[in-house]
Chain A
Amino acid sequence: MDFRRDILPLKNIVFRTALRIVLSREEAEDIVQDTLLKLWEKRDELHKVENLEAFALTMARNLALDRTAKKEAENVSLEEDKHDRPDDTTGEADTPMTRLEASSFVAGIINSLPEKQRTILQLRDIEGKNYKEIANLLSISESDVKVTLFRARNTLKEKILQKRDLFL
């Protein structure tokens, strides 16, 4: 096994996955490094692993969740948890948003979603995973994936329409 050829290419999907959880680029990068290092240390056992990417993402998720738990000093489980995180949006709803503003507005809403919804949204809408793959990655049922995705997408829709209605 060669690090550059077999493990380093996982860096970006691990990065994005970690970023959804910790919401900080610096921390996400730390997690990528820790994950890739751990994988390298386990390289002799990796041939037993059926799906290296899934294995890496699970490892990264666990590291990321541990970090978040330590930070918040409370258990962050996969239970539905309403976080009262403030939106990253400012109060400038007077004019229609530019494309860039719209993107960052949506980014803000996504960051305010519970971690489970953020993660599933990312795995589906960014990484293009099907429901079965996501279910396996998170050790939940496919219907759970769909229900959670439903909540995420419809919260986004609701907030988008609210924003639009503010200046209609």
Chain B
Amino acid sequence: MLRENMNYQYIEQLLDSYFACTTTLQEEQILRSFFSQEEVPGHLAQYAGLFNYEVSVKDEELGEDFDERMMARIEAAEPSKKPATKAHIVKLTTRHFAPFFKAAAVVAMALTIGRAAEHAIGEQEAEEQAGMMAVDPYIKSGDVHEAIRVKDVSQAEIKATNDSIVGVTTDDEIQ
């Protein structure tokens, strides 16, 4: 059929370019896909091995058993290093998430204070508050959260907030 011939003409052109080393990587992929088919026309079949070979070699891989041997060798080379590279199960404790909790605690407190402040300030007190707020340098710049953040937050307060957020007892030992 003419249509089939045209398809093969394209492939044949690609093949010529392949052997002239003028094909692009994408065109080479087209050839590989073409030759990975079950049925390849007779006059082209001889090249199937060439493109199938290339596809099968790509699968030359080292498996997990290699990974184990490799990790063993790494640890043997540097036994004093902490096994940070070892994939071991880490029990999650609050100690690990301490920095995040601190940040979360600060934000939670800022929001709580902010909300409380909203409730506390009635219409009548609004103007008075505005006057007070004008004095504080941080609030002056309009950043209420920044003003709250610089307040001294004691460790006990953070810890209490941590526990209330997470609902776990602090475990100081890393298991």
Q: Which residues of A contact B (CB under 8 A)?
A: 2-4, 8, 11-12, 15-16, 19, 29, 32-33, 36-37, 40-41, 96-97, 99, 101-103, 105-107, 110, 122, 125-126, 128, 130, 146, 149-150, 153-154, 156-157, 160-161, 163-164
Q: Which residues of A lie under 8 Å from residue B50 when comparing CB positions?
A: 106, 156-157, 160
Q: How many interface residues does B have (CB within 8 Å)?
A: 32
A2 to B81 Cα, complex, angstroms: 12
Q: Which of B55-63, B138-146, B148-156 contacts A (4 or more CB under 8 A)?
A: B55-63
Closest 3 CB pairs of A and B: A102-B49, A106-B53, A3-B85
Asked if residues B77 and A41 are in contact (CB atoms below 8 Å), the reply is: yes
Chain A contact residues, majority secondary structure: helix
A101 to B83 Cα, complex, angstroms: 46
Q: Which residues of B contact A (CB under 8 A)?
A: 18-21, 25, 28, 45-50, 52-54, 56-58, 60-62, 66-67, 69-71, 73-74, 77, 84-85, 87
Asked if residues B21 and A125 are in contact (CB atoms below 8 Å), the reply is: no
Asked if residues A126 and B69 are in contact (CB atoms below 8 Å), the reply is: no
Count CB-based A-B contacts (< 8 Å).
Answer: 86
Asked if residues A153 and B54 are in contact (CB atoms below 8 Å), the reply is: no
Asked if residues A11 and B52 are in contact (CB atoms below 8 Å), the reply is: no
**Contact A99/B85 with A33-B73, A125-B28, A126-B57 known, Cβ cut-off 8 Å:** no
User: Would you give the shortest CB distance from B167 to chain A, in whole angstroms?
Assistant: 32
Pick from A96, A153, A156: contact of B21, CB under 8 Å: A153
Pick from A32, A40, A97, A146: contact of B74, CB under 8 Å: A40
